[in-house]
């Protein structure tokens, strides 16, 4: 193989988590949405699956007492905390800003004053950025499974 086992496990973790979002979305909304393969947010967290696949691979190859595993656990914690915290709240902010912009545009259209500026025509901000705790949890489960299975197949 061209890539090391830990890198292969991490990349597979990301790809599998991104792909799994499509059938999960299909089951929950009855809508086939291939664009989820390249989007952020959703079930499971691909960021978490990626970093936990890597952490699992490092645990298997270097051991639970290694410095490499310790570093990987710390980075994993940061990634998962960020997914549930900062990125999720940025998505909430985007939702509020999108609503405010839509309301503002409706107000401008309603007033139809000649000296008022034209309505804003910006793209909506992406609202699905972060993850709920359950999405991060299942991303971690996905990462552990992928890390172990990749080792078995490698």
Indicate whether this model's pTM tops 0.85. no
Packed helices 67-84 and 46-62: angle between N→C axes, nearest 10 degrees: 170
Query: Which ranges of the chain have pLDDT less than 70?
Result: 1-2, 87-89, 91, 113-122, 124-130
106-147 pLDDT, tens digit per residue, is: 777 777 766 666 666 667 655 555 677 888 999 999 999 999
Please give the Cα distance from 103 to 95 (Å, whole number).
12
């Amino acid at each position: 193989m061209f890539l090391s086992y830990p890198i292969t496990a991490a990349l597979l973790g990301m790809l599998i988590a991104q792909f799994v979002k499509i059938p999960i979305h299909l089951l929950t909304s009855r809508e086939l949405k291939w664009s989820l393969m390249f989007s952020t947010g959703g079930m499971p967290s691909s960021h978490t699956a990626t970093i936990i696949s890597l952490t699992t691979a490092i645990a298997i190859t270097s051991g639970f007492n290694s410095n490499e595993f310790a570093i990987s656990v710390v980075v994993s914690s940061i990634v998962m905390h960020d997914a549930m915290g900062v990125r999720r709240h940025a998505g909430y902010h985007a939702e509020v800003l999108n609503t405010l912009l839509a309301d503002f545009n409706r107000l401008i259209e309603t007033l139809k004053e000649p000296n008022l500026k034209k309505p804003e025509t910006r793209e909506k901000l992406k609202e699905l950025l972060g993850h709920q705790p359950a999405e991060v949890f299942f991303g971690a489960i996905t990462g552990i499974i992928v890390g172990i299975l990749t080792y078995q197949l490698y």
